[in-house]
Structure 1
Amino acid sequence: MPASPIRKLTPFADKAKLDGKKVYHLNIGQPDIETPEGMINAIKGIDFKVWAYTPSEGTLSYRKKLVSYYNRAGYNINTENIIVTTGGSEAINIALMTCLDPGDEIIIPEPFYANYNGFACQADAVVKPILSYIDNGFALPPISEFEKLITPKTRGIMICSPNNPTGYLYSKEEMEALKDLILKHDLYLFADEAYREFCYDGREFTSPMHLDGIDDNVIILDTVSKRYSACGARLGCIITKNKEVWATALKFAQARLSAGMVEQIAGEAAIDTPDSYFEAVTKEYTHRRDVLVNALNKIDGVYCPNPGGAFYVCARLPIDDSDKFCQWMLESFTYNNATVMFAPATGFYSTPGAGINEVRMAYVINPDDLNAAMKCLEEGLKVYPGRVEVENGKQKEAHA
């Protein structure tokens, strides 16, 4: 079971805090945006005598509200297409166990959300990574590269758009290309849509649910964690129009009994969150993205593409090893009695050696703190023992 690159350095951050340092947390996607007031009030207003189980597929009232949300987005679903889960994590876990037998393969463009590796491990499935590259902003790899990986054991392709960890937003043309590949080989298309609401610069979000002719192949994985800044709610869902997949996934849902009652009460209220909330949040994240990306690209030897969605960036640094660097920043470096916690990008790749000079950052703290964190990074890079010099935008081979 692989360690989480997002959390594995927590003991070093805790030690830094005990030593009196301020730690800017850019390692984890825990927004500081306030949860919608309606969700909080719904919890405060709860008045039940028995804290009971809920149906394994989720309460009917919550699923009805979810249908209204997704159908406003053009998904054309009903309550029998939804299974409510304990967070998006369980949605991914159940979906993989439902659709993949031990030894089956799933193709995932990398870098990808690190826990896909863990969920595949639990399902005894095999991740077949396909590299995307920082120099073109982590765009979808060519379909010809996917074709090279397809074997008789291939069962599906997993995507996340807008992407964690890169922030890349797949275009409609890229989604159509994936659709053709899915149909050609009769594969599942697993789509993690945790960041659907966060698309910037007027760019439009395209879901597999917007594509014609692949209803039986599509499995949507979703969560309230990021959309409503409610990471602690642990509430997500699986959406599929494939009746056999739904029925099998329900067996896994029944085995774990049910998602939480209180969370679903809050989730119902969340659906009534006004558009003005998302407009304000999107404006704020766009500003934070601009602050972070501009600051990064002004630092000597650093390169960061400008993402189209979510609230993450992957940046290339002039360093020998991102795991060593991230730990060094917490253990050995301080600037104005502060340091920064990053997530080493190696944990978001399956290909050995990939991401060794990249880190993921989440712009979920306020702009002043982002600027202060970038000053820490700039000063840290000046004295880091494993710095690698950069010439013409490319790093010298200064380490083994």
Structure 2
Amino acid sequence: QTGKAYEADQVIITCGGTEAMLNALLATINPGDEVILSDPTYAGMIGRVRLVRGVPRLVPWIPINGEWRLDLEALQKAVNKKTRAVFLMNPSMPTGAVMTLAEWQAVADLCHKHDLWLIYNAAMERILFDNRQVIHPAALEGMSERTIIIGSVSKEYRMIGWRVGWLVVPEKLTEAMTTAHIYNVVTPVGISQMGALAALQYGEKGLEQAVHIWQERRDVLNRQLQGLNSIPAAGGWSQLLDVSEWGLTADQASEMLLAKSKIAATPMTNWGGPEAQRYVRLVFSNEPVARLRTVGSRIRNLLSGLGA
């Protein structure tokens, strides 16, 4: 994906992508350093920045022509003397946003200009819809030595719970990253590593089939959400539903959707800043098509009761 060959000592096997995220931050961030993330983004990314006593600096996704686009003006303004890294996931969770080449180039230019690390959560990078192609930021000019790549078998290979991930790091970070890993968890479980190896060796066809199924489920969901304020996922497992026009907070909407409509929709209250708090997340990846076809009526029945 990157067009670059890495040495074996630049690849560190971790207990899932979540350990890899923490190790990356432990090796690069000092207390008080700022880390740029999108708003919203995976709560586990924001939480780990805070665990290492870093300061999250949030840059919003904005809806443009039915797609999520990163606010590049806000990205430029987010940098200051305390900024140490940009921490992004692509496709982004929970929005399902997929970054364009122009957006990645803007991130790369920022990293070069301000001497920043790019911590790239690539756990879903090949879960792309509508014939989108992978754009790997480490393949951009001068970015391989600035990019810390986080991978996992949890998403693309559907092995949540096996807890096998990896870090691919620039050579000058290998010692710090290995130290963080050794004193964090030592090593993943051996039997899990053998399962992950089998998936990596033989699982490519399964990934193609899975992406086809996930895209079909996304399409069914979006037909159900017509007329509601939701931007279709360009990749990943989930997308957001804007509930601000319902007269409810995300927490209230989540509770009501579960209690009255039997829909589990995660409130995005802790998944970012002000931009996140108007949304709930709908995860379509593991829902059968027959159930997804009932989502629209369930939500509209709830809204009719609210008078919304």
Tell me which moved more, 339-348 or 92-101.
Answer: 339-348
Q: Which residue of 2 aligns with 1:379?
A: 301
The Cα offsets for residues 333-370 of structure 1, whole Å up to 9 and x where unpaired, read as: 25xxxx11101122221x2x433332111112111111
Distance 2:196 2:146 in 1: 27
Q: Which residue, 25, 31, 35 being the options, matches 1:96? A: 25
Give the alignment of 1:246-395 within 5 angstroms.
246-255=174-183, 256-298=185-227, 302-317=228-243, 318-319=245-246, 320-331=248-259, 333-334=260-261, 339-349=262-272, 351=273, 353-364=274-285, 365-384=287-306, 389=308
Q: Which residue, 42, 46, 60 being the options, matches 1:113? A: 42
The one-letter code sitting in structure 1 at the alignment partner of 2:234 is: G
For the residue of structure 2 that corresponds to 1:284, the secondary structure is helix
The one-letter code sitting in structure 2 at the alignment partner of 1:224 is: V
Distance 2:141 2:156 in 1: 26
CA contact (8 A) 1:91 1:237 kept: yes
Q: Which residue of 1 aligns with 2:154?
A: 225
Task: Say whether 1:204 aligns with 2:111.
Answer: no
Gaps of 5+ in 1: 1-69, 390-400
Q: Which residue of 1 aligns with 2:106?
A: 177
Shift of 1:135: 4.5
Distance 1:278 1:382 in 2: 40
The one-letter code sitting in structure 2 at the alignment partner of 1:315 is: L
For the residue of structure 1 that corresponds to 2:126, the secondary structure is coil
CA contact (8 A) 2:88 2:119 kept: yes
CA contact (8 A) 2:39 2:276 kept: no
Distance 2:304 2:5 in 1: 54
CA contact (8 A) 1:304 1:313 kept: yes
For the residue of structure 2 that corresponds to 1:120, the secondary structure is helix
CA contact (8 A) 1:130 1:141 kept: yes
Distance 2:177 2:268 in 1: 32
The one-letter code sitting in structure 1 at the alignment partner of 2:207 is: F
CA contact (8 A) 1:346 1:354 kept: no
Gaps of 5+ in 2: none
TM-score (norm 1): 0.72
Shift of 1:133: 1.7
Q: Which residue of 2 aligns with 1:139?
A: 69
For the residue of structure 2 that corresponds to 1:107, the secondary structure is strand
Shift of 1:219: 0.4
Which structure ranks higher in relative contact order (CA pairs < 8 Å, sequence separation ≥ 6)?
Answer: 1
Aligned length: 303
| Identical residues among aligned pairs (%) | 24
Shift of 1:183: 0.4
Q: Which residue of 2 aligns with 1:63?
A: none
Please say which structure displays the higher CA radius of gyration: 1
Distance 1:134 1:322 in 2: 18
CA RMSD in angstroms comes to 1.7
For the residue of structure 2 that corresponds to 1:265, the secondary structure is helix
